[in-house]
Structure 1
Amino acid sequence: MYAMLDHAHLPYNLWGKAALCAGYLFNHSKSHALEPSTTSFEMLHGKKPDISHLQVFGA
């Protein structure tokens, strides 16, 4: 989280927001631990996640 905050030049009191963002990104990213490199979102909902709304953290 600190790397995300440092990169975006944001204060450390936004650590909670960075943690939520990191968790969201983790759940929408491919995992080699799951069957043919799917996301946990895809395993749960049966469809690929729509990531068209994502922006750089802090933008």
Structure 2
Amino acid sequence: MRTRRVHTAYIKIVRSFVTLTYELIKAMVEYARENGIKILPLCPFAKGRFERISEYADVLHQ
């Protein structure tokens, strides 16, 4: 069996990416609200975020 190590730097990069993605989705929702746009999240990560945050329902395309 081969073993791989997970380094702290890698975990920090992943956390930063997730945080950045959350902020991007939040900005996208704000933009959609201001401009009367509905969002159809095709990305599984974004789709999951929209399913978990009920406040985003007003801009979610059904």
TM-score by length of 1: 0.38
Instruction: Name the one with the larger helix percent.
Output: 2
Which one has a bigger Cα radius of gyration?
A: 2
TM-score (norm 2): 0.37
